[in-house]
Chains A and B, each alone.
Chain A
Amino acid sequence: MVEFNLLPWREYQQAYQIKQTGWWLLTMTGGCLLLLFLAHYWLHQQIIKLQMDIADLQLQFVQQGRKQVSVNQDQDEFIAHLREQQAALMNMVTSPLQIKNTAFCLSDLTSANGKLSLRGRTATLSLITDLLKKYSALPWAQNVSLNHIQHHTNDDNYSFDLLVNQKNYFGRETNDIAKNTNNE
């Protein structure tokens, strides 16, 4: 059926369609902007969360590092102490050997509680005297005493028992330091 409308409906319709298109574009643009804003907000929140996680991890890492440094320092101290002990022991062992023109045989060498005990044999008494002098002259020896001396007639030599008090005693035993390190 033919339909007429004497109003300028084609112009009205065109204007309406332009208006509708404009509204649609505006709505779509608004929607897109809203989506972009929401995406931006979400990503921003994610970044903040990740940054906080990273900061926490960094803090934990720093704390662990500090603990590690502390342990390392203790270990270094312990190693240095061991080395000092070792050097001292070596010094104690080698010191008598560095005494020139002496001929003696050490049968026992004991270091405990800052005291060095030496037992051995020598051919003459003068050699024991020299040994006493030499130990007394050592920088770490505080007091040198001859506890025992005996003449063996069958092989014509002398056995002796010498005790040297050490000056620079480290104050604590190696086991104590190791215990402290493990506790930390």
Chain B
Amino acid sequence: MPYHLFTRPMLIGLDIQPHEIRWLRVSQTRNDLIVENFEIMPRASILEPDAAGYWSTLQASLTAIVAAHAWQNLPVALAIRATDVINKSLRVKSGLSNAEINTAILKHIQHELPGMDVDICLDYALMSPPTDTEQEILFVATRGETLQRYLDTVQAAGLKVKIVDVDYYALLRGACYGLRSSHQAIGLLLLDEVRSIFIIAQDGKILLAQEWTLIDADRPARLHQCLQLYTANEQTSPIEKILLCTVAMTEEIAVIKKMCMVEYRIPVEIINPWSKLSLNAVCSPEKFQHYAPRLLQCLGLVMREVPRW
């Protein structure tokens, strides 16, 4: 890995989708991020991870990208799909060590999914200040086999994987870049050319996440279902606002805004996290504007600090 004496090394944000590979590189000045380079490469064939040839074609595509940009051994952050991850809250005793928390999480998974006898990779975050007796943790866990496939493929292409995040958390982080943090529940509606994602989160914890593709044409109706599902639970906090990130203002957007305001009394705020970033001279602003909504997950990944290990 190159040795950075005066500059802070930055991660490459890599977003592997079934139909395309997206990546983003940024550099950091004292206060701002500058987009150095980005690309969205369509994949030769749209395959799901379970399909034969998925990993070999992915490795070939990544190897070509690494060779083209001389990225050998550069640190990279990637995210695995939330559908491959268990994401739950858990209350454990206060003052437990890391190993004891891991054991408690594994016991909880065994309890939820009895008979599950596979290698589990997990991580957790302490959610609230611990009381005398209990501590709330939020954990994510996935099969070791799933994670290892990503690692093997990306590392075989010549990159050094430093972070494996969960895609919705990376999306949320990217969308909230530059926004004032709030303890209220907020909704994030991401509408791009390929898919639509709706996430409700509070204090960084994802309470609800739904994803649908363009085939599900009636996006306002799907959003309406999600909001009904969320508000039906009396224990949930009211949504302070919905952050809408989209590439173009269409009539559909106006419908969604009107529905949220009239039926749920939730204000909708159009956000553009990219407006807080500068663009390198070599990047085409038109191209970037076109691709930006699809690079939100990559932004959430490159915002992560590079681990020292």
Contacts and interface: CB of A to CB of B under 8 A. Distances in A.
B90 interface: no
Contacts of B204: 1-2
Interface string B179-213: 00100000000000000000000011100000000
Contacts of A10: 98
Given A12-B309, A16-B308, A5 B123 contact: yes
Interface stretch (B22-30, B109-117, B169-177, B215-223): B169-177
B308 A9 contact: no
Interface string A1-32: 11111111110110110000000000000000
Interface in B82-106: 85, 98
- By DSSP majority rule, is chain A's interface helix, strand, loop, or mixed? loop
Contacts of A1: 169, 172-173, 176, 181, 204
Interface string A50-81: 00000000000000000000000000000000
Interface residues of A, number: 14
Interface in B55-96: 80, 85
Given A7-B163, A8-B121, A2 B307 contact: no
Contact of B147 (A6, A12, A16): A6
B140 interface: yes
B166 to A, nearest CB: 6
Contact of A13 (B142, B173, B307): B307
B205 A2 contact: yes
A15 B308 CA distance: 11
B258 interface: no
A5 B163 CA distance: 5
Size range of the interface on B? 20 to 34
Contact of B166 (A4, A9, A12, A13): A4
A4 B166 CA distance: 7
B277 interface: no
B161 A2 contact: no
B307 A4 contact: no
A13 B309 contact: yes
Contacts of B181: 1
Contacts of A2: 125, 127, 138, 169, 203-205
Contacts of B307: 5, 9, 12-13
A106 to B, nearest CB: 113
A16 B163 contact: no
A4 B147 contact: no
Contact of B165 (A5, A8, A12, A13): A5
B309 A3 contact: no
Interface string B136-179: 00101010000100010000000001111110010011001000
B95 to A, nearest CB: 17
A1 B140 CA distance: 15
B122 interface: yes
B169 A3 contact: yes
Given A1-B172, A1-B204, A15-B309, A6 B121 contact: yes
Given A2-B125, A15-B309, A7 B138 contact: no
A3 B176 CA distance: 13
Top 8 A-B residue pairs of the complex, sorted by shortest distance between their CB atoms = A16-B309, A2-B204, A12-B309, A6-B164, A1-B204, A4-B123, A2-B125, A6-B121
Interface of A: 1-10, 12-13, 15-16
Given A3-B304, A16-B309, 14 more contacts: A1-B169, A1-B176, A2-B125, A2-B138, A2-B169, A3-B165, A4-B125, A4-B165, A6-B142, A6-B147, A7-B147, A7-B164, A13-B307, A13-B308
8 contacts: A1-B181, A3-B125, A4-B166, A5-B123, A6-B121, A6-B164, A8-B121, A9-B123
